[in-house]
Amino acid sequence: MVDSSGLHPELERTADDIAEMEIRGAATIADAAAAALGAQAADSDAETPEAFRREMRDAARRLHETRPTAVSLPNALRYVLTGMEGETVAELRKSVEEQAARFRADLDAAQDRLGRIGAGRLNDGDVVMTHCHSTDALACIEAAVEDGTDLEAIVKETRPRNQGHITAERLSELGVPVTLIVDNAAHRFMNDVDHLLVGADSIAADGSVVNKIGTAGLAVSARDRGVPVMVAAQSIKLHPRTLTGAAVEIEQRDAMEVIDDETREEVGDIDVANPAFDVTPPRHVDAIVTEHGQFPPESVVVLMRELFGESVEEPWSE
Ligand code: RI2
């Protein structure tokens, strides 16, 4: 059943959870968005094909407005909506449900493939430093561990949301010895590290990597110590609009994530800035590992053209 706004409660809940970061991580966001569109289609009360199409566009717009940086979200919405085909509501419904299911299955398969490719860069005895929590990055470690590669991890806690705790938990479950450090300790540990391994929320056509705030400085530190920087990112992280010159919007989040109101009042009259992401230039990245292989950042544009061409539709804004 849909509510008076025409949007399914599951879709509303998914949108709220993405905005609040109860659902987070670029791949997980894309998966949840596709599932929500599928649920919207399944329970739609639309009586005409036009009403159904409009409802799906409204649903996609609602999801799109939640978080601006991870391009996996619009890429997922575009994939599902461009697969919407048919003359009748029943046909349209079926096509959306099938396309959403296909997207989700492809996403899983892509992450597995990416993990196996990334694992090839990791050698027995290596120490990997991680930042934030990325399922794409973890897939590389998981595949390496499955191959019998012994790894250790230095895990940054990643203020302000401490997603490093999730990474630490997942790695422990895999049997990888973990040392958790505060973000400020990263440079001190860089001499002990063989790889810096991070995920991505968006990758621009010039090979710039948009990822959790702190990645850019970390990559400079890794470069300084000769530590290779490896970015694990499925192709849904490629930002097609950057092919035509658009910049990736950096999400600014609530000050409350950095400092609670009471402490802030004690400190005095201050501004608080909380950008969620930063941009690591291609010269500080060694390899972008995707499900299609690994690329030096400067050549990722070739893959982008192949996958998206030059024109990028936004069916939800029609
Ligand atoms: P996967 C996260 O952002 C991190 O920046 C992480 O590197 C990226 O998403 C990719 O995650 P946030 O949602 O898609 O925690 O690899 O702000 O899981």
Residue from 20, 22, 24, 138 whose mutation best tests the ligand 1 pocket (most atoms within 8 A of CB): 24
Cβ atoms within 10 Å, residue 50: 10
Phi, psi (deg, nearest 5) at residue 235: -65, -15
Asked whether residue 213 falls in the same domain as residue 160, the answer is yes
Which pLDDT score is estimated for 107? Answer: 97
Whether the CA torsion 241, 245, 246, 252 is positive or negative: it is positive
Q: Is 205 in the pocket of ligand 1 (CB under 6 A)?
A: no
> What gap in Å lies between CA 84 and CA 86, rounded to an integer?
7
Amino acid at 157: E
1 inside domain: no
Q: What is the CATH number of the domain that holds 50?
A: 1.20.120.420
> What gap in Å lies between CA 121 and CA 228, rounded to an integer?
10
- How much distance in Å is there from the Cα of 46 to the middle of ligand 1? 35
Burial class (CB in 10 A: 0-12, 13-18, 19+), 48: exposed
Cβ atoms within 10 Å, residue 7: 19
- How much distance in Å is there from the Cα of 309 to the middle of ligand 1? 25
Give me Rg for the CA atoms of the chain.
20
Which pLDDT score is estimated for 6? Answer: 80
Asked whether residue 302 falls in the same domain as residue 273, the answer is yes
Cβ atoms within 10 Å, residue 311: 8
Catalytic (active site) residue 132: yes
Asked whether residue 166 falls in the same domain as residue 244, the answer is yes
- How much distance in Å is there from the Cα of 173 to the middle of ligand 1? 20
3 inside domain: no
Asked whether residue 68 falls in the same domain as residue 183, the answer is no
For residue 182, the enclosing domain spans 121-308
Catalytic (active site) residue 140: no
Distances (CA, A) of 258 to 119, 148, 152, 261: 35, 40, 30, 10
Which pLDDT score is estimated for 4? Answer: 55
Q: Which of 200, 23, 25, 35 is nearest to 114 (CA)?
A: 200
271 inside domain: yes
Which pLDDT score is estimated for 309? Answer: 79
The encoded tokens of residue 225 equal 């110590």
Asked whether residue 129 falls in the same domain as residue 171, the answer is yes
CA angle 58, 70, 309 (to 5 degrees): 80
- How much distance in Å is there from the Cα of 277 to the middle of ligand 1? 10
Asked whether residue 55 falls in the same domain as residue 107, the answer is yes
> What gap in Å lies between CA 180 and CA 185, rounded to an integer?
10
Q: Which of 183, 106, 171, 107 is nearest to 145 (CA)?
A: 171
Asked whether residue 32 falls in the same domain as residue 138, the answer is no
Q: What is the CATH number of the domain that holds 286?
A: 3.40.50.10470
What are the pLDDT tens digits along the chain (318 aa)?
Answer: 555 578 999 999 999 999 999 999 999 999 999 999 999 999 999 999 999 999 999 999 999 999 999 999 999 999 999 999 999 999 999 999 999 999 999 999 999 999 999 999 999 999 999 999 999 999 999 999 999 999 999 999 999 999 999 999 999 999 999 999 999 999 999 999 999 999 999 999 999 999 999 999 999 999 999 999 999 999 999 999 999 889 999 999 999 999 999 999 999 999 999 999 999 999 999 999 999 999 999 999 999 999 987 667 888 887
99 inside domain: yes
> What gap in Å lies between CA 163 and CA 30, rounded to an integer?
18
Asked whether residue 34 falls in the same domain as residue 146, the answer is no
Asked whether residue 54 falls in the same domain as residue 175, the answer is no
Asked whether residue 147 falls in the same domain as residue 237, the answer is yes
Which pLDDT score is estimated for 314? Answer: 86
Split into its structural domains, the chain has a count of 2
160 inside domain: yes
Asked whether residue 71 falls in the same domain as residue 147, the answer is no
Which pLDDT score is estimated for 108? Answer: 97
Asked whether residue 235 falls in the same domain as residue 160, the answer is yes
> What gap in Å lies between CA 68 and CA 302, rounded to an integer?
24
> What gap in Å lies between CA 215 and CA 130, rounded to an integer?
10
Which pLDDT score is estimated for 55? Answer: 97
251 inside domain: yes
Catalytic hit among 31, 126, 201, 286:
201
Q: Is 24 in the pocket of ligand 1 (CB under 6 A)?
A: yes
Catalytic hit among 31, 132, 140, 286:
132
- Which residue puts its alpha carbon closest to atom 13 of ligand 1? 25
135 inside domain: yes
Dihedral angle computed from the Cα positions of residues 235, 278, 311 and 48, in that order, rounded to the nearest 10 degrees: 80
Q: Is 212 in the pocket of ligand 1 (CB under 6 A)?
A: yes
Which pLDDT score is estimated for 1? Answer: 52
86 inside domain: yes
